[in-house]
Amino acid sequence: MAAMTGSAFAEAGADLKLVGVQKRFPGFTAIENLDLTIPAGSFFALLGPSGCGKTTTLRLVAGLEEVSAGRILIGGKDVTATKAYQRPVNTVFQSYALFPHLSILENVAFGLRRRKMTDALTRAHEALNLVELDHLSARKPAQLSGGQQQRVALARAVVNRPALLLLDEPLGALDLKLRRQMQLELKSIQGEVGLTFLHVTHDQEEAMTMADTVAVMNKGRIEQMGAPAILYELPRTAFVANFLGQSNLFSGLVAGETSNSIAVDIAGSRIVVPKSRAQRHGGEVTIGVRPEKLILTRTAPNANSALNSLGPGRITDVSFSGVSTQFSVEIPSVGAVVVFAQNLQASPMASVGDAVWVSWNVEHGFGLEDDERSAARFSADESTAMIAAHRKDALLAELEDS
Amino acid sequence: MAFSAFAPSTVSEQAPRRKSRVALLLLLPGILYLLLFFLVPLLSLILTSLQAPTVSGDIGQYRTAFEWQNYSTAIGQYGGQILRSFVYAVLATVFALLFSYPLAYFIGVKARPYPLLQNLALILVIAPFFISFLLRTLAWKQLLSDESAIVTGLKALALLAPDAHVTGTPVAVVFGLTYNFIPFMTLPLYASLERLDLRYLEAGNDLYATPFSTFLRVTIPLSMPGIVSGVLLTFIPAAGDYVNASREFLGGTGTTMIGNVIESNFLVSLNYPAAAAMSVMLMVAILILVTIYVRRSGTEDLL
C-alpha cells in the first residue's frame, strides 16, 4: 500500500506470550513467574491494586524494563533481548508523556519519522482526525486540556500501527463523562484497526466494560483470568471476589454432598452450593454470594431446596443510591452481610433495626479455592521491604491521581 | 536557579497590572541605581569614545568632540585582536559545552537516585571557585610551564615537540578560558537537566527512537534553556576576558585579545578614546551575537 522504507506496519495485531517471566528489583520481587498468553486482536485487561506488578508487566512488554528471568514473545518472535525502540509495541503512558517542545502534529508524527515513513505528516493528520483533534495540530501539548492530551497520546501510539498497543491507566486522569467517551473511542479504534490491546488498570469497572479478557493480578501473580462475566460470576479466590465487585463470604465445614452439590454448615444453617460452581468439595471451605443476588425478607423464607437462607439478622445500615439501596445486615455468629436491593417500590422495604432474613438461589452461590487461612495470604506474610515498596507505590499513585 | 533569569521569560504577562504609588516608590531605588551606575557611565563611555586629543596638550588629555574615526582607526589597528577574541571565546564556549554537558547530565540525571553523590559532585564543580581565579590561572601557568611535569612528560612521550611551549600559545589561552568558565556552563545545564522528565525519554524509546536519536530530539531540545544560559554566561565574559590572554598569565605576544588591548590603551598608552571605542564595539558585537543566538535557538516557548 504506502511507500515505506523502514520496518513495515503490522498487518494485524500480534499475540503476546510471557513465559516464566520474573522481575526482581533490589529489595523485592515485583513479578514472580508470570505465564500469560494474549491472543492476537483481543482487548486484554490486567487488573489489580497499586503495587501488584501490573505496570511492571507492561513496562517489561514495552521493553522499558529488563526481565530478570523468562521470555517475552510478540507474534511468535522472541523479543526478550531487544530494546524498547526495536519492539513493534507502542504505549499510551499514564502521564501521556507528550513532548512539550513539539507541536501536536510533530508529536504524532514522531514515531513515523523515526521509522523513516515518507508520508509521516499525512498519516499523522489521519490519526488526529480519528481522535477528532486535527484542528489543533499546530498547538503545543501544554495548550490542550487533559482529555485532549489523552487523545493525542492515543493517536501518537495508534498511528504507528503497532502489533500490540499498551495502555497504562490512560483514562485515570479523566472525569467520568470523558472517560466513558474515551472507552467507547478505544473500543471503536480497536474495531477499526484490529490491534491487540493490553490495558493496565486498577478500575475494575473499566476493565470489565472494555476488555474481552480480564486477568486479576495480585502480588506479582495472576489470580484469575477469563471473560469479565465469568470472572464476576465465578471468582476463584477471595481476592478476586472482593476486588472485582463486592462479595459476601462465609466459611464452614462441608457437611454433606450429593452428586451435583455440596452442603456447607454456616453457623448452623445448611448452605448448598452446586459442585460445578465450587472449587473444593471437602473440608473447611469458603463460599460466597454477590450482594445483588440476595433477597431480603421480613419473615423466614419457606424451606425450599432451591433457596439458601440465613437469618434472622438486624439491619444496621441503609444507604440509598438511586438505582438500588444497600443494606447492611448483622447476622449473629455469621457477621455482616451486604445486600443490594433494586428499588422496585417507592419507599424502602426495610429500615435500620428491622429483623430480616437473607436468601438466595442455590445457583447463585460460589465456592472459593482458598480457605480462611490462605485467604489472609495477601496481607500478613510480606517482608518489611516489600511492604515499604508497596506503600511507596501506593503513595506515588495517589500523588499521581491528585 | 539564578541562571534561568537569563533566559527570556513570559512571566511578566501574568503579573497583575495595577498602578500604585507604593510600587513606584519601591522601584525608585532600583531606577536611580541603574541611572547612576549604568546609564551615566555608559553615556560617559560613548562620549569618551568620540573624544579627540587636545591640540598641544599632554598625553592623556582629550577634549569633547565627535571623532567618529576613532572607531575606524581602532578596527584598522586592532581588527586582528577583535576577531581573535571572538574566535577564542567561541572555542572556549564550545569546549566548555562539550565538557559540561556530559558532566551536568551525569549529575542531574544519572546521579538522581543518589542525592549524596549529586551534592558531592556539585560541590566539586564549585569548590575551585573558593580560590581567586587569578591564583588558579597563575597555578595553571606553573602547571603548563616548560619545566612542569605535564610538559616534560608530554615531551618524553613525544606528544609534544622538544622545543615546544604551552604557555603563551593560543592553546593555553583557550584552555584557560574553558577552565575558568566551566562552572558557569555546568550549573545552568545542571539546573535544566535536573528537571528533565525521564518519562519523555521512555516515550522517545517507545516511539522507535534509538538512544542517540532520543538524545538529539528529546533531551537536547528539552535542555535548551540550560544550554542557552550556559552559553551566554560563558561567551560574554570570555569574549571580554583579559586575564587568561595576558602575558603575565597564560598568553603571549601573539594571543592578545580585545580585553588586553582595552586594558593597555586605558592604563598604559592612556588612549582613552580608542579604549572606549573598543569597549563600545565589544558591547555592541556581543549584544548582536547574543540576540541572534537567542532568537535562533527558539527557546522562548519552552519556558
| Closest chain A residue by Cα to residue B197 | A97
| Closest chain A residue by Cα to residue B216 | A114
Substitution target from B195, B202, B206, B210 for chain A, most A beta carbons within 10 A: B206
Contacts of B206 in chain A (CB under 8 A): 62-64, 84-85, 89-91, 93
| Closest chain A residue by Cα to residue B302 | A101
- How many residues are given for chain B? 303
CB A44 within 8 A of CB A196: yes
Does the CB of B225 have a partner CB in chain A at under 8 Å? no
Residue B10 DSSP class: -
Contacts of A127 in chain B (CB under 8 A): none
Contacts of A114 in chain B (CB under 8 A): 207-209, 213
Cell digits of residue B272: 582613552
Give the domain ranges of chain B: 18-47, 81-302
Tens of each residue's pLDDT in chain B, 303 residues: 334 444 444 444 455 556 678 888 999 999 999 999 999 999 999 999 998 888 777 777 888 888 888 899 999 999 999 999 999 999 999 999 999 999 999 999 999 999 999 999 999 999 888 899 899 999 999 999 888 888 888 888 888 888 888 888 999 999 999 999 999 999 999 999 999 999 999 999 999 999 999 999 999 999 998 999 999 999 999 999 989 998 889 988 888 999 999 999 989 888 899 999 999 999 998 899 888 888 877 655 443
CB A195 within 8 A of CB A13: yes
Element (H, E) at A388: helix A384-401
Does the CB of B204 have a partner CB in chain A at under 8 Å? yes
Reported pTM: 0.78
pLDDT tens track for B106-128: 999 999 999 999 999 999 999 88
Exposed / middle / buried, residue A347 (Cβ in 10 Å: 0-12, 13-18, 19+): exposed
Inter-chain CB proximity A160 and B208 less than 8 Å:
yes
Instruction: Please report the pLDDT score of residue A351 as a whole number.
Output: 83
Q: What's the half-sphere exposure (Cβ side, CA atoms, 13 Å) at A350?
A: 27
Give Cβ neighbours of residue B91 (< 8 Å, ≥ 6 apart). B174, B177, B178
CB A102 within 8 A of CB A90: no
Sequential DSSP letters for A70-89: EEEEETTEE-TTS-GGGSSE
Inter-chain CB proximity B203 and A100 less than 8 Å:
no
CB A356 within 8 A of CB A309: no
Substitution target from B196, B205, B207 for chain A, most A beta carbons within 10 A: B207
Instruction: Please report the pLDDT score of residue A402 as a whole number.
Output: 64
Please give the CATH number for the structural domain made up of A245-369.
Answer: 2.40.50.100
Instruction: Please report the pLDDT score of residue A183 as a whole number.
Output: 77
First to last CA, chain A: 45
pLDDT along chain A (402 residues), means of 10: 44 83 86 89 89 89 93 92 92 92 94 92 91 91 89 90 88 73 77 84 84 89 90 91 88 88 88 90 88 89 84 88 87 89 75 88 88 43 57 74 66
Topology of domain A16-231, CATH: Rossmann fold (3.40.50)
Inter-chain CB proximity A100 and B210 less than 8 Å:
no
Tell me which residue in A84, A101, A140 faces B206 most closely, judged by beta carbons.
A84
Does the CB of B210 have a partner CB in chain A at under 8 Å? yes
Contacts of A100 in chain B (CB under 8 A): 200, 222, 302
CB B220 within 8 A of CB A99: no
Does the CB of B208 have a partner CB in chain A at under 8 Å? yes
Instruction: Please report the pLDDT score of residue A375 as a whole number.
Output: 43
Inter-chain CB proximity A99 and B200 less than 8 Å:
yes
**Order of all β-strands in the sheet with A28-38:** A28-38, A16-25, A69-74, A77-78
Give the domain ranges of chain A: 16-231, 245-369
Which amino acid would we find at residue A389? A
| Closest chain A residue by Cα to residue B301 | A101
Instruction: Please report the pLDDT score of residue B122 as a whole number.
Output: 93
Inter-chain CB proximity A63 and B205 less than 8 Å:
yes
CA distance B224 to chain A (A): 10
Give Cβ neighbours of residue B24 (< 8 Å, ≥ 6 apart). none
CA dist A375 and A285 (Å) reads: 11
Query: In terms of CATH architecture, what is B81-302?
Result: Orthogonal Bundle (1.10)
CA distances from A71 to A22, A33, A35, A394 (A): 9, 11, 9, 28
Instruction: Please report the pLDDT score of residue B189 as a whole number.
Output: 96
Tell me which residue in A64, A83, A90 faces B207 most closely, judged by beta carbons.
A90
| Closest chain A residue by Cα to residue B218 | A99
pLDDT tens track for A158-173: 899 888 999 988 776 6
Instruction: Please report the pLDDT score of residue B280 as a whole number.
Output: 94
Instruction: Please report the pLDDT score of residue A378 as a whole number.
Output: 39
CB B191 within 8 A of CB B303: no
- How many residues are given for chain A? 402
Contacts of B210 in chain A (CB under 8 A): 85
| Closest chain A residue by Cα to residue B223 | A101
